[in-house]
Structure 1
Amino acid sequence: MHILSVVLQIILGLGFLMFGFMKFGSKQMVEGFNHYGYSSWFRVFTGIVEVVSAILVIAGIWYEALAAWGSVIILITMIGAIMTHIKINDNVKQMGMPIMLFILGLVVFLINYDALI
C-alpha cells in the first residue's frame, strides 16, 4: 500500500501545486472565480491553501501524518469546489475534476490515517 500512497501523493501534490499557483494570476482562474461569484482575495486564499496542502502531501512521503493532514485539507477544498459547481448548477461532467481529486485525497487519507493515531 505504501507505493500506491506515494504515487497518489505525487499526483495530488504536483496537481495541487500547479492549480494553486495558477490561482495567483492565471487569466482562466480569474475568470472562473468571477464566474463563480468569488472575489480576488478568495481566489488567492484558495491558491495558498492548495499550495500548502500540496507541500504537506508531498512531505507526507517521508512523514505519513503530514500526508493525512494534507489530504484532509484537500478533501475540504474539494467539497467546497463541488458545492460551488452545485451552487451554479453545473452538470456532473463539469464537477469531474473536483470529484476525482476528492476520491484521490480520500484514498491518501485512508492509507495514512493510522499515522494520526
Structure 2
Amino acid sequence: MSDVAVPAERRWTHVGVWIVRGLLALAFLGAGGIKLYGAPMMVDEFHHIGLGQWFRYLTGSLEVIGAILLLLPRKAGFGALLLICIMIGAVITHLFVIGGSPIPAMVLLALNALVAYSERGEIASLARAL
C-alpha cells in the first residue's frame, strides 16, 4: 500500500501513518544513537540492567535499524515489528528491573503497533513467501 496510488478516501490516513513513521524514525534514531554513542546516562542504565554493555550496543543498533526500516516503504511493517519487540522488552525492564515510568515505552509500542497494523498486507505477503 505504501508505494502505490492511494484512494482519495484513505489519503489522510496514509499521510497520518507516514507522519507517525517519520516521528518514530526520528525518535528511534535519537534513542539508538545515544545508546551507541555511550551517553553516561545510558551506560549507567544498562549497567543497572545487568546484562553488560554489549546489550546497550545491541539495543541501540536494533533501534537504528528499525528506524531506517520504518522509512522504507516495503519494509516499514518489519521495522515496526522489530521496534515492537524492543519496546515490549523496555516495558518489562522498566516494570521489573530498573523502575521508572514505562509510559514512554508503551506509547512508542502503541505507535509502532499502529504502523504494523497499517502495513499488515505487506507483512502477510512476505510471510507467505517465506
TM-score by length of 2: 0.81
Question: Within 1, Cα distance between the matches of 2:78 and 2:97?
Answer: 29
Question: Within 1, Cα distance between the matches of 2:71 and 2:103?
Answer: 23
Please say if 1:28 is aligned against 2:41: yes
Deviation, 1:38, is 2.7
Deviation, 1:86, is 1.9
**Residue 80 of structure 1 corresponds to which residue in structure 2?**
89
Q: Which amino acid aligns with 2:48?
A: H
Question: Within 2, Cα distance between the matches of 1:89 and 1:77?
Answer: 16
Q: Which amino acid aligns with 2:20?
A: L
Question: Within 1, Cα distance between the matches of 2:53 and 2:97?
Answer: 18
Deviation, 1:89, is 6.6
Question: Within 1, Cα distance between the matches of 2:98 and 2:31?
Answer: 22
Deviation, 1:109, is 0.5
**Residue 5 of structure 2 corresponds to which residue in structure 1?**
none
Deviation, 1:111, is 0.8
Aligned length: 111
- Give aligned-pair identity as a percent: 31
Deviation, 1:81, is 0.6
Q: Which has the higher contact order (CA 8 A, sep 6+)?
A: 1
Q: Structure 2: give runs of 5+ residues left out of the alignment.
A: 1-12, 126-130
TM-score by length of 1: 0.89
Q: Structure 1: give runs of 5+ residues left out of the alignment.
A: none
